[in-house]
Amino acid sequence: MGKISILPAAIALLFFASTARSLVCDITKYGAGGGTSSDITQALVSAWKEACAATEASKVLVPAGTHVLREVVLEGPCKSSIEVQVDGTLQAPADPAQMKTDGWVVFRGVDLLTLSGSGTFDGQGKTAWTKNDCNLKTDCVTLPINIRFDSVTNGMVKDITSLDSKQFHVNVLNCKNLTFQHVTITAPGDSPNTDGIHIGRSTGINIIDTGIKTGDDCISIGDGSEQMTITGVTCGPGHGISVGSLGKYPNEQPVTGLHVKNCTITGTMNGLRIKTWPASPAGTASDMHFEDITLDNVGNPVIIDQQYCPWNQCKSKAPSHIKISNVSFSRIRGTSSTQAAVTLACSSQLPCTEVEISDIDIAYHGPEGPATSVCSNVKPTISGKQNPAICASAAASPTASPVSQ
């Protein structure tokens, strides 16, 4: 008996001893000047190296104040769990010519990473936005993303702010089990290509209680994304919450398992959107569910757009070969800024299947009359309240197909 009861106690003791013994690497101890606006790049990299090599849980601390930071890659694998707590404001170089890569702060190959703190990642994007020419040409200049997570697993990002990124604010690539909670993302509504959080080729990504005001999609979900939960997100200004665009490139992976719930979307160009390019290679997007969404003055509140072609960049009007299935929109309520409130424009080659629409109540107060719902190549299952009557309007002709960016 004695032996059996002592063992758990010993394990518990070991556990508390190890969590209590965590290493704190304050960047001011690594040569970062205490003064305001000093360049902390080298100090941050040194602090990361020591923390990452520690065999106990460790923390890199960036204290309050304004600090200049050039591009950094904070790379694993680390020997134990690691937290980066940013309480200050980090400023990127304003001139994009001073930045050579596509990421300002990059976390790469790290397991058990926490990024926390009351601090701000200020991308100082104003100068760069004037140089963005992606609406004019496809081979446009690549500007740095504020924060990149490449191959990060079992991570948590909480409380921090991303401000005025030059391009996407946050990019998630090849990650597994990464949660964003209580994050703030801010950029002007007219800043180009400043998606809030972009997810691609990742599994188990959660975005919880997060506020996003930006110039492009609040959240965009690219190919190879699986098991995503988005709850308690406020979005706007911006272009809404989007799956896609899909089908622009060969060898894209399926998108599957998306749950968007209890979100509020305000004043955006689009609301809940699934977009695929025409003439695409084969692909699939399935098991995507949107529920309990409040809309305030939102353009194209519910839209499947399989003829997505911003700035007339596509070479062909041939149908998309992305198969969309198992999609539901439930309890979507509020006001639209465009007459077309529910648009389901599916591929003529591969119609959408298993689409369910229930309890839709979207009002439009424009001179053309009440809200409408336009559908093509889809026969949704409809239940509950229907304002507007779902798919009651004639199918959109190619020239009247939705124009959304």
Ligand X SMILES: *[C@@H]1O[C@H](CO)[C@@H](O)[C@H](O)[C@H]1NC(C)=O
Active site residues: 239
- No. of helices (H) and no. of strands (E), the chain: 3, 32
- Per-position x/- string for 159-198, each x denoting binding to ligand X as judged by CB under 6 A, each - no binding: ------------------x---------------------
- Per-position x/- string for 309-328, each x denoting binding to ligand X as judged by CB under 6 A, each - no binding: -----------------x--
Instruction: Determine contact, residues 295/334, Cβ cutoff 8 Å.
Output: yes
b/e map 152-172, b = 16+ CB within 10 Å: bbbbbbbbbbbbbbbbbbbbb
| Shortest Å, Cβ 286 to ligand X | 6
* Residues 35, 135: Cα–Cα separation, whole Å: 41
Size of the site for ligand X (CB under 6 A): 14
Distance of CA 247 to the CA centre of its chain: 18
Stretch that binds ligand X, among 188-196, 235-243, 283-291, 392-400 (CB under 6 A): 283-291
Stretch that binds ligand X, among 28-36, 148-156, 194-202, 397-405 (CB under 6 A): 148-156
State which residue, 41 or 353, has the beta carbon closest to ligand X. Answer: 353
* Residues 3, 8: Cα–Cα separation, whole Å: 10
Question: Using CB under 6 A, which residues numbered 205 to 224 contact ligand X?
Answer: 209
Half-sphere exposure of 258 (CA within 13 A, CB side): 32
| Shortest Å, Cβ 19 to ligand X | 13
Instruction: Select from 262, 339, 349, 387 the one that contacts ligand X (CB under 6 A).
Output: 262
110: alpha, beta or left? (left if phi > 0; alpha if psi -120 to 50): beta
| Shortest Å, Cβ 327 to ligand X | 9
| Shortest Å, Cβ 82 to ligand X | 11
Instruction: Select from 28, 41, 66, 154 the one that contacts ligand X (CB under 6 A).
Output: 154
Instruction: Determine contact, residues 73/96, Cβ cutoff 8 Å.
Output: no
- Segment (H or E) for 243: strand 241-246
State which residue, 36 or 55, has the beta carbon closest to ligand X. Answer: 55
Strands 302-305 and 226-231: unpaired
Shortest CA distance to 202 belongs to which of 245, 154, 159, 131? 154
Scan for tokens 């190959």, then name that residue: 109
Indicate the length of the chain as a whole number.
405
Decide: is 266 part of the binding site for ligand X (CB under 6 A): no
State which residue, 112 or 173, has the beta carbon closest to ligand X. Answer: 112
| Shortest Å, Cβ 329 to ligand X | 13
Binding site for ligand X (CB under 6 A): 112, 154-156, 177, 209, 232, 234, 262, 264, 286-287, 289, 326
